[in-house]
Structure 1
Amino acid sequence: MRKRNKFFMVLGVLTLSMILYFAFLHSLIRDHTTIKVPLDADYLIILGARVKGEIPSLSLQYRIDAAADYMKNNKETIAIASGGQGPGEDISEAEAIKAGLLAHGISSNRIILEDRSTDTVENIRFSKKLIPDHLETGLAVTNDFHLYRAKLIAKDQGLNLQGLPAETPLVAIPKSYLREYLAITKYYLVTLFN
Structure 2
Amino acid sequence: MKKKKSGFLLIGVFIAFGLIYVGFLQFKISQYSNMEAPKNADYLIVLGARVKGTVPSQAFASRIDAAANYLKENKNTIVIASGGQGPGEQISEAESIKRELVKQNISESRIILEDHSTDTYENIRFSKKLIPKDAKNGVVVTNTFHIYRAVSIANKQGLDLQGLPAKTPWTAVLKSYSREYLAITKFYLKTYILD
TM class by smaller structure = over 0.9
Q: Does the residue aligned with 2:81 lie in a helix, a strand or coil? A: strand
Does 2:76 correspond to 1:76? yes
Structure 2 counterparts to residues 41-190 of structure 1, below 5 A: 41-190=41-190
The 1-side partners of 2:121 and 2:161 are apart by: 14
The 1-side partners of 2:47 and 2:142 are apart by: 6
Shift of 1:158: 1.1
Shift of 1:132: 0.9
Q: Which stretches in structure 2 are left out of the alignment for 5+ residues?
A: none
Instruction: Deviation per CA, 1:76-95: give whole Å up to 9, x if none.
Output: 11110000000000000000
Shift of 1:4: 2.4
The 2-side partners of 1:171 and 1:27 are apart by: 21
The 1-side partners of 2:10 and 2:171 are apart by: 34
Specify the code of the residue in structure 2 equivalent to 1:108. Answer: E
- Greater mean deviation of Cα atoms: 25-34 or 64-73: 25-34
The 1-side partners of 2:102 and 2:35 are apart by: 28
Q: Is the 8 A contact 2:35 2:164 kept in 1?
A: no
- What root-mean-square deviation, in Å, do the aligned CA atoms of Structure 1 and Structure 2 show? 0.9
- Greater mean deviation of Cα atoms: 77-86 or 168-177: 168-177
TM-score norm. by structure 2 comes to 0.97
How many positions carry a matched residue from both structures? 194
TM-score norm. by structure 1 comes to 0.97
The 2-side partners of 1:173 and 1:131 are apart by: 32
Q: Is the 8 A contact 2:35 2:165 kept in 1?
A: no
